[in-house]
């Protein structure tokens, strides 16, 4: 059994020991790793994987997704609107819906391609100027725009909290907002804080280095 499977099973065990353990999806963030490094987890039966660049995702996953249609690919990085069509061709979920322009372009491409995928709205939970995302107080109006005007299937919210020692506070705020909007899914938590996210009702955990090891 490879180290990858051992680490993955340890994470699953941690989740199973949590009070919020039902219907949790681990998005194994495989960005920068080649397919040979990822295959043990695919062969182990895991289905959800995350990438942060469209071109890398296409070159890495296009053929294997044809062979294994049950695989689900998540865009977990910043998506430029001019790459929307290519993103829709390869991804099943986009976790970084963060501007009206992007929503408009994705919606238009969906109609042209007759394809619908799942979205998470990225929230700039700490109002950081260097981070993408919808300001906290504009999330509900943006959600209405995406779902009512553009008919997009928004599952929930996504956030990456600031690294300022207040992660628990940010996760709690995200959980409360997600719940108040009646959303069922919440994309929150990475290798360093996934258990804290889990304790705050996260349902999609984006975990990379704790599964695949450190990136070069």
Whether the per-residue pLDDT at 203 is higher than 80: the answer is: yes
Count of C-beta atoms within a 10 Å radius of residue 38 = 20
Give the dihedral sign, CA 204/171/155/98: negative
Is residue 119 a contact partner of residue 146, using CB atoms and an 8 Å limit? yes
Beta-strand ranges (E) seen in the chain are 25-29, 48-51, 72-75, 93-97, 118-124, 134-135, 153-159, 185-188, 204-207
**CA 196/CA 29 separation, integer angstroms:** 18
**In sequence order, what DSSP letters do the residues of 68-120 get, joined into one string?**
-TT-EEEE-S---GGGHHHHHHH-SEEEEE--HHHHHHHHHHHHHHT---EEE
> What residue spans define the domains of the chain?
3-212
Report the chain's mean pLDDT, rounded to a whole number: 95
pLDDT of 128 reads 86
Is 3-212 CATH 3.40.228.10? no
Is residue 121 a contact partner of residue 158, using CB atoms and an 8 Å limit? yes
Selected residue with higher pLDDT from 129 and 88: 88
pLDDT of 20 reads 77
Whether the per-residue pLDDT at 1 is higher than 60: the answer is: no
State the residue for tokens 């450190």.
214
Q: How many CA atoms lie within 13 A of 3 on its CB side?
A: 7
Nearest alpha carbon to residue 30 among 1, 8, 51, 6:
51
Q: What is the pLDDT of residues 68-109, one digit of tens each?
A: 999 999 999 999 999 999 999 999 999 999 999 999 999 999
Q: What is the pLDDT of residues 180-189, one digit of tens each?
A: 999 999 999 9
Q: What is the pTM of this model?
A: 0.96
């Amino acid at each position: 059994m490879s180290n990858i499977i051992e680490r993955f099973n340890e994470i699953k065990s941690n989740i199973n020991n949590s009070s919020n353990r039902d219907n949790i999806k681990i998005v194994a963030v495989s960005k920068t790793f080649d397919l040979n490094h990822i295959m043990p987890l695919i062969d182990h039966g895991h289905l959800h994987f995350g990438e942060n660049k469209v071109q890398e995702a296409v070159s890495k996953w296009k053929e294997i997704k044809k062979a294994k249609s049950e695989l689900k690919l998540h865009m977990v990085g910043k998506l430029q609107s001019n790459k929307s069509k290519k993103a829709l061709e390869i991804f099943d979920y986009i976790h970084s819906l963060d501007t009206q322009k992007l929503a408009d372009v994705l919606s238009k491409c969906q109609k042209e391609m007759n394809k619908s995928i799942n979205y998470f709205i990225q929230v700039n939970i700490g109002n950081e100027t260097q981070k993408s995302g919808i300001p906290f107080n504009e999330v509900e109006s943006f959600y209405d725009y995406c779902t009512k005007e553009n008919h997009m299937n928004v599952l929930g919210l996504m956030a990456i909290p600031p690294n300022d020692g207040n992660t628990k506070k940010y996760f709690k705020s995200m959980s409360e907002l997600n719940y108040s909007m009646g959303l069922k899914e919440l994309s929150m938590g990475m290798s360093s804080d996934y258990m804290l996210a889990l304790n705050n009702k996260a349902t999609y955990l984006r975990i990379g280095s704790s599964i695949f090891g450190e990136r070069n």
